[in-house]
């Protein structure tokens, strides 16, 4: 514990779990430092800009799962908030598209992109975000937690640390963690985190100088037997694509993504464009005028961590949060896991 009255917390990672946690703790008088390896915030809820387009290449929107999600989004300000009103339709292994029979829920993003969610949450806190800082080890001692990064700098001491990277990366950090006592608990927690299964996804972005008119916003493969897992039209989001143009976000299925994760973009885009043209029955789509991509080696968890195995770490002031903790790869799940862990942490420290 720190020598003064202020509790000092470090959050590793600046994704939605971290943003939700920082927001939940903003009135608790806790000093928050966020260490993020990249140049931005939001994790997979990220947005890029190119050639007059904005596009959400990871998480495409935040699902309106319940009333508290709607209230949270409204509290961030409704300027630029977008509800994607076109539906998501399923398709099968043969590429047969069917009209969805499920009730449509709200699908929220912003004209400036989904990254606004993390930016606005962090923006109403006093959290210090240290970007381009890759954590490589943690050490507990009587003064608290000290964290080192790959550039040789140290951060701390902190009274508590929350790890929010994907489970495989969190397991690596746990292996590089030193506890004052409780090595058995640390080993059991590391093993549990290491066992969380993940799907790999490579997203390929295809731009066209013409409109694509369809009655749906996106298509999702509901039997997991097609090489395309998800295809969506960024033109359905106001402010994302100029009039008369289209930008497809094509997230390939895990098997394809794993096998083709490192092939050159031009080769990947050529194959993906052929697949998209066949699925949408439009030969024009084989020739996009520009392309982009993003690989997510640890994109979506297929199960949650064993909560009993990681719980003993909290006695040391070491917590975990993220969609993999609850086992559901959804933006709102990561967000609310961060909020819930933050509230529990506040009650403890």
As a whole number, mean pLDDT of residues 179-184 equals 90
Res 63: pLDDT: 85
- Interval 92-129: pLDDT, tens: 999 999 999 887 788 999 999 999 999 999 999 999 99
Question: With the C-alpha atoms ordered 252, 258, 261, 263, is the resulting torsion angle positive or negative?
Answer: negative
Nearest-10 Cα torsion for 176, 180, 183, 184:
-150
Predicted pLDDT at 3: 43
pTM above 0.75, yes or no: yes
- pLDDT-derived band of residue 239, with 50, 70 and 90 as boundaries? very high
Q: 50-65 burial, b if ≥16 CB within 10 A, otherwise e?
A: eeebbbbbbbbbbbeb
Residue 249 has pLDDT above 60, yes or no: yes
Average pLDDT over residues 21-49: 95
Of the candidates 58, 16, 70, 59, the one whose C-alpha atom is nearest the C-alpha of residue 41 is 16
* pLDDT at 132 > cutoff 90: yes
- Report the distance separating Cα 180 and Cα 245, nearest Å: 59
pLDDT at 297 over 90: yes
pLDDT score of 273: 98
Which residues pair with residue 129 across a beta bridge?
Answer: 34
At 65 the pLDDT is: 67
Q: Is residue 4 over pLDDT 80?
A: no
Read off the DSSP letter of residue 97: B
Mean pLDDT of the residues in the chain: 94
Instruction: Please give the domain boundaries of the chain with CATH numbers for all domains.
Output: 7-43+119-197+304-348 (3.50.50.60), 61-113+198-301 (3.90.660.10)
- Provide the pLDDT for residue 2: 43
Categorise residue 320: left if φ over 0, alpha if ψ from -120 to 50, beta otherwise.
beta
Q: What is the predicted pLDDT for the residue at 67?
A: 85
- What residues have CB less than 8 Å from 4, skipping those under 6 apart? none
pLDDT at 340: 95
């Amino acid at each position: 514990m720190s020598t003064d009255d202020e509790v000092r917390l470090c959050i590793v990672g600046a994704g939605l779990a971290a943003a939700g946690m920082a927001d939940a703790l903003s009135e608790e008088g806790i000093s928050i430092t966020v260490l993020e390896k990249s140049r931005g915030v939001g994790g997979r809820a990220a947005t890029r800009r190119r050639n007059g387009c904005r596009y959400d290449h990871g998480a495409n929107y935040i699902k309106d799962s319940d009333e508290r999600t709607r209230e949270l989004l409204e509290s961030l300000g409704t300027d630029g908030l977008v509800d994607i009103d076109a539906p998501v339709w399923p398709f099968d292994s043969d590429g047969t598209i069917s009209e969805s029979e499920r009730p449509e829920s709200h699908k929220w993003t912003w004209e400036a992109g989904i990254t606004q969610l993390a930016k606005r949450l962090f923006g109403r806190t006093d959290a210090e975000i240290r970007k381009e800082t890759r954590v490589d080890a943690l050490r507990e001692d009587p003064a608290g937690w000290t964290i080192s990064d790959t550039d040789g700098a140290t951060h701390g001491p902190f009274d508590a640390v929350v790890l929010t990277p994907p489970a495989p990366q969190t397991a690596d950090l746990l292996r590089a963690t030193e506890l004052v006592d409780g090595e058995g608990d640390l080993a059991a927690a590391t093993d549990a985190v290491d066992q969380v299964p993940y799907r790999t996804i490579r997203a390929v972005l295809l731009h066209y100088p013409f409109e694509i008119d369809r009655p749906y916003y996106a298509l999702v493969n509901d039997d997991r037997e097609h090489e395309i897992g998800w295809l969506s039209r960024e033109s359905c989001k106001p402010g994302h694509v100029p009039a008369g143009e289209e930008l497809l976000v094509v997230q390939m299925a895990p098997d394809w993504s794993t096998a083709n994760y490192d092939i050159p973009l031009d080769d990947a885009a050529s194959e993906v464009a052929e697949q998209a043209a066949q699925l949408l029955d439009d030969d024009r789509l084989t020739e996009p005028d520009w392309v982009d991509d993003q690989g997510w080696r640890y994109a979506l968890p297929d199960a949650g961590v064993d909560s009993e195995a990681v719980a003993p770490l909290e006695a040391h002031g070491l917590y975990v949060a993220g969609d993999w903790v609850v086992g559901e790869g959804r933006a709102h799940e990561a967000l609310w896991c961060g909020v819930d862990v933050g509230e529990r942490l506040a009650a403890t420290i």
